[in-house]
């Protein structure tokens, strides 16, 4: 029961942060959800598939929490809870740091600030890293094969979106400034010399 409560609190804070930010931006006239919009070909396919995957994962998480599925011991599940909490923290900090430049997906029609401060000094993609850590933590707390499969699929789609959509967009939008940043800060975590 303890892990179920922890997981519900994590998911409430995680998705609550996402939707509160989206609603707040909507009130300012900002369209947060840019997934698949204004894109064609592979970029559109990646973003639409990623969006579908990220809608399926919470359903699998909630079913897993309700059923309290697991194959792991209490200490291992505790590690999963810690991983998920770290992911929640990374996600919230990244959303707050981006302020009104934060989007789900990229938009070639909207000009946003190029953010490299705060958590973005140690990760080019802390929001995606936050998603990944929350998903991994949930898998460890409530392991079952359907949850594992949909979560891993969503994480692969995140990576493809970063690699083939977002990084290309940022390179085009910010040119040498982004290339310099890309050489200095790792995709997920760490700085290069």
What pLDDT digit, counting tens, does each position of 133-191 carry? 999 999 999 999 999 999 999 999 999 989 988 888 888 888 899 999 999 999 988 87
- Distance between CA atoms of 124 and 116, rounded to whole angstroms? 8
If pLDDT is split at 50, 70 and 90, which confidence band does 6 have? very high
Lowest mean pLDDT among 1-5, 57-61, 76-80, 101-105: 101-105
Q: Look at the alpha carbons of 141, 16, 50, 105 in this order and tell me if their dihedral is positive or negative.
A: negative
Neighbours of 137 (CB within 10 A): 24
In this prediction, residue 47 carries a pLDDT of 86
* Domain assignment present for 8: yes
Q: How many structural domains comprise the chain?
A: 1
- pTM value is 0.90
- Domain membership of residue 69 as a residue range: 2-184
pLDDT at 48 over 70: yes
Exposure string over 73-111, b if 16+ CB within 10 A, otherwise e = eeeebbebbebbbbbbbbbbbbbebbeeebbbbbbeeee
Per-residue model confidence (pLDDT) at position 87 = 97
- Within a domain: residue 80? yes
Cα gap 186→20, rounded to integer Å: 28
* CATH code of the domain covering residue 114: 1.20.120.1630
Q: Which of 133, 118, 124 is nearest to 85 (CA)?
A: 133
Q: Is residue 159 assigned to a domain?
A: yes
| Mean local confidence (pLDDT), 113-133 | 91
User: Does residue 9 lie within any of the structural domains?
Assistant: yes
């Amino acid at each position: 029961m303890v892990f179920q409560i922890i997981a519900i609190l994590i998911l409430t804070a995680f998705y609550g942060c996402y939707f509160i930010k989206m609603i707040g931006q909507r009130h300012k006239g900002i369209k947060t959800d840019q997934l698949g919009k204004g894109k064609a070909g592979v970029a559109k396919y990646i973003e639409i598939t990623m969006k579908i995957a990220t809608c399926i994962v919470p359903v699998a998480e909630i079913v897993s929490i309700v059923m309290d599925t697991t194959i792991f011991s209490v200490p291992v599940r505790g590690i999963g809870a810690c991983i998920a909490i770290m992911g929640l923290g990374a996600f919230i900090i990244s959303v707050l740091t981006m302020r009104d430049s934060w989007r789900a997906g990229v938009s070639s029609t909207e000009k946003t600030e190029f953010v490299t401060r705060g958590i973005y000094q140690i990760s080019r993609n802390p929001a995606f890293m936050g998603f990944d850590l929350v998903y991994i933590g949930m898998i460890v707390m409530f392991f079952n094969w359907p949850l594992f499969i949909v979560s891993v699929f969503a994480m692969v789609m995140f990576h493809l979106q970063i690699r083939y959509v977002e990084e290309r967009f940022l390179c085009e939008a910010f040119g040498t400034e982004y290339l310099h940043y890309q050489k200095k800060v790792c995709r997920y975590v760490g700085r290069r010399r």
